């Protein structure tokens, strides 16, 4: 695997998707071949699974079913899109990956971070990101941004109560401590241009290593 696998993580409304797009433009202008993608989704089968998971009518979905569906979508997306791009030497920018499952299903849903890690190992066979950027914003601020954005369709998880999003945030803090070499926190509670500059600064040394 000769490419670089970069994942973007954070609570809902952290603004990571905007920065991902800007980072993609910057890398392309700098001559890298970039693949932009997202989870759950990114390819036809996984987008279909996304619709099932996030459908607001699916209020009876069991937490383990939810965790397994995310892992299934992840598996298909990895083998069909991410690994081929990495094998071609591309830089893959992925909006969410396994850390989202550890935070949302493992901790916020209460399934256990280790348990959710196990089922995900079956799906990813040890393929972890090279770098993860965590967009750090207090959960109430993220939720305010979602509420203020009329264009954004509110999904089943956006509709969870504040304490769910607080648990997601707490889980990410634990993951940052556990995977301190891989996960880099970025202050997302500031102007978008500053968030972008901070993200670039973190990525720079890794890109130099790749050259
Ligand atoms: P998005 O809004 O960033 O596209 O993500 C969709 C929702 O799915 C978001 O609320 C986070 C959630 N999610 C999980 O709960 N577990 C996962 O493994 C992933 C990838 C996303």
Residue nearest to atom 10 of ligand 1 (CA): 157
Query: Band of the pLDDT at 210, cuts 50, 70, 90?
Result: low
The C-alpha atoms of residue 43 and residue 110 are separated, in whole angstroms, by 29
Ligand 1, pocket-test mutation among 20, 40, 73, 159, most atoms within 8 A of CB: 40
Ligand 1 atom with the smallest distance to the CA of 158 is 10
Alpha-carbon 58 to chain mean position: 22
Smallest CA-to-CA distance from 22 within 100, 95, 98, 99 is with 95
Across all residues in the chain, what is the average pLDDT? 95
- β-pairing, 34-38 vs 91-95, is parallel
Alpha-carbon 162 to chain mean position: 20
The helix/strand count (H/E) of the chain reads as 9, 5
H or E element at residue 136: strand 131-136
Given a cut of 70, whether residue 211 has pLDDT beyond it is: no
**pTM: predicted TM-score of the whole model, two decimal places:** 0.96
pLDDT above 70 coverage of the chain, percent:
98
Q: Mean pLDDT over residues 102-129, rounded? A: 98
């Amino acid at each position: 695997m000769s490419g670089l696998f970069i994942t973007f993580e954070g609570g809902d409304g952290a603004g990571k998707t905007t920065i991902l797009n800007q980072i993609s433009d910057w890398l392309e202008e700098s001559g890298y071949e970039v693949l932009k993608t997202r989870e759950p989704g990114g390819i036809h089968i996984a987008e279909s699974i996304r619709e099932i998971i996030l459908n607001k009518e699916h209020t009876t979905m069991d937490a383990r079913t939810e965790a397994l569906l995310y892992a299934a979508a992840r598996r298909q997306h990895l083998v069909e899109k991410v690994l081929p791009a990495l094998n071609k030497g591309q830089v893959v920018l992925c909006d969410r990956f396994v850390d989202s499952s550890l935070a949302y299903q493992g901790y916020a849903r209460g399934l256990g971070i280790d348990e959710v890690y196990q089922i995900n190992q079956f799906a990813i066979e040890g393929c972890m990101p090279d770098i993860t950027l965590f967009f750090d914003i207090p959960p109430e601020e993220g939720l305010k941004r979602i509420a203020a954005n009329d264009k954004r369709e509110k999904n089943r998880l956006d509709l969870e109560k504040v304490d769910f999003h607080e648990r997601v945030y707490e889980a990410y803090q634990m993951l940052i401590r556990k995977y301190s070499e891989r996960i880099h926190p970025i202050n997302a509670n500031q102007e978008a241009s500053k968030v972008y500059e901070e993200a670039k600064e973190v990525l720079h040394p890794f890109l130099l290593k790749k050259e």
